Structure 1
Amino acid sequence: MTLSEGIKISQEHLDHLNSTLKDLTAEEILKWAYITFPHLYQTTAFGLTGLVTIDMISKLKINSQEDGGEEISHPIDLIFLDTLYHFPQTYELVDAVRAKYNPKLHVYKPADAKDDIEFAKRYGDQLWETNDSYYDYLVKVEPSQRAYKELGVKAVLTGRRRSQGGARGSLPVLEIEETSGTIKINPLCNWDFKMVKSYIDANNVPYNSLLDLGYKSIGDWHSTVPVAEGEDERSGRWKGQAKTECGIHETSKFAQYLKSQST
């Protein structure tokens, strides 16, 4: 199995790594990933799990080789995909994270629209309803692939967890993105919502104020609703639709979609 820019790993080695990593703490996995992979980034929409990861990274004791061994305040850059349709509270949270942690944040938007008004002029007022797959491609898949290419990304940290259900139920710590060969690391894959929220509270981590209104998983405003008591935490995403992912973690599906559009 050949990964981006010459990094190679066999399926046997991948299985061995996952067998070893599953017994490490999230902090240990993060430090291992930083030491092991060049050009490591964190992709985040500033959900609760991603915020835990950001806080943990800020507490890693890592010294820069370029600055005389001086400790780095936030050693892993962030990639944020701005779909142009996030809640106002999400953008407020981005500002709060910048103020608290001072990370290097790379923001990627749809390629040909600087705001939602321009996007609607090009593609219609509700593309997410008229052509959901095309919408996901424009606001998530293409920007993420462009970010990986421009930044030279080899590996990314994600905020996915098994307890979120759906396609994430058997999520390993380490996986390979089929279309690009990018290494994906899920350091908190075995945490549940209670563990994540407890960490947020105990460490005074800023979080989206919508959480206090019943939103447990927050995406675009047009496809996110509060979660009822007893429902899966991601049940508020794409309510009433047979859909559990936005496409950023299903790039092979979108490769097939684009091929179908060109035939």
Structure 2
Amino acid sequence: MSGPTFEDNYDETYSHAGNVESGYASGSSSDASLPEVYFSKPHLKFLNQQLQRLSPQEILQWSLITLPGLYQTTAFGLSGLVTVDMLSKLNGPTKSNVDLIFLDTLHHFKETLNLVDRVKKRYPHVNLHVYKPADVDSADDFTAKYGAELWKTNEDLYDWVAKVEPAQRAYAELQVRAVLTGRRRSQGGKRGDLDIIEIDEKGLIKINPLANWSFSEVQTYINENNVPFNELLDRGYKSVGDWHSTQPVKDSEDERAGRWKGQQKTECGIHNKPSRYAQFLMAQEQKRQQEELSKALEKVSIEA
């Protein structure tokens, strides 16, 4: 008789789970030293209406004043680079340095990795936290562990191990409560109705300071402020992700049309609701951690 399938385990884990209420937010960290942040739905709607009228710099200043545990997640796209530069130039009594979190999937273009080094030199005051897939350090390691072209053979698993799990690990280890993202409405796809403030299923607060900006506005800022950018943008790329799922785009296409071209997919999993597989893996990891904790406590009790 065969063992339980993924679907069996998934149904057992989630059959009694309800949807998480995203109208309220609290930090994703359990560290009591950081204050919790709560937004009721009416308050969140009001804030989005007010922030909608502000410039990106003003939104950034509001975020610095309001949100503890604030970081910036970035793949060093144009919008993220604009945010880094704006933060470096904010004046005032509030802290303007925001640490960066970069998810190195081990499948970035060499031009992207070169850009990371250039950004570190241009903004030496910025702390950069790099997170890779667990227990691997190179593309060869990744292939040895998961097989060739995992993004083709199991897309959900690839998103989980290369992006979602490293992001969750970063948020937990760094006690992240809120993140600045580079997402904009003009990028098309699911981003067309983006709010300034969003709250995900885990209570993570996402701030999109450039949500109102067009691609041309971003380009103008980059050029006028001499901000370093990815060389691939001069070769027809507008949005750059992993080399295996990114292509140049035509002038008539959406900015992110070159990402996962020919597929229904428009996001990598970090900004999507977790897939069934990702939810199952999260539950299994939580179960493993709980079992390890129980064993450790039992050992301490025996030794005592």
TM-score, length-normalised on structure 1? 0.92
Aligned length: 252
Matched, 1:247 2:279: no
2:236 pairs with 1:206 = no
Query: Which of residues 154, 161, 181 is equivalent to 2:203?
Result: 181
Q: How far 1:82 moved relative to its partner?
A: 0.3
Query: 1:30-49, aligned counterparts within 5 Å?
Result: 30-49=60-79
Q: Distance in 1 between matches of 2:131 and 2:48?
A: 30
Assess if the C-alpha contact under 8 Å between 2:131 and 2:170 holds in 1: yes
Question: Larger Cα Rg: Structure 1 or Structure 2?
Answer: 2
How far did residue 41 of structure 1 move?
0.3
Match of 2:58 in 1: 28
Gaps of 5+ in 1: 65-71
- Say which SS state the counterpart of residue 190 (structure 1) adopts: coil
Query: Residue type of the partner of 1:229?
Result: D
CA distance in 2, matches of 1:126, 1:190: 36
**1:31-58 per-position Cα deviation (integer Å, ceiling 9, x unaligned):** 1101111110000000000000000000
CA distance in 2, matches of 1:240, 1:53: 30
How far did residue 75 of structure 1 move?
0.8
* Identity of matched residues, %: 58
Give me the whole-angstrom Cα distance separating, in 2, the residues matched to 1:121 and 1:23.
50
Q: Structure 2-normalised TM-score?
A: 0.80
User: What amino acid maps onto 1:165 in structure 2?
Assistant: G
| Distance in 1 separating the partners of 2:195 and 2:268 | 19
SS of 2:198's partner is strand
Q: Whole-Å Cα distance in 2 between the matches of residues 148 and 163 of structure 1?
A: 27
Give CA deviations for 1:144-191 in whole Å, capped at 9, x if unaligned: 01100000001100000000111100000001011x201000000010
Aligned match of 1:68 = none
Shift, 1:125, TM fit: 1.2
List gaps (5 residues or longer) in structure 2.
1-23, 31-35, 285-304
Match of 2:247 in 1: 225
Give structure 1 regions of 4+ aligned residues with deviation exceeding 3 angstroms: 258-263
Match of 1:162 in 2: 185
CA distance in 2, matches of 1:176, 1:183: 5
Partner secondary structure for residue 264 of structure 2: coil
Q: Is the 8 A contact 1:81 1:107 kept in 2?
A: yes
Aligned pair in 2 of structure 1 residues 53, 153: CA closer, same or farther (>3 Å)? same
Equivalents in 1 of 2:168, 2:279: separation in Å? 16
Partner of residue 257, structure 1: 277
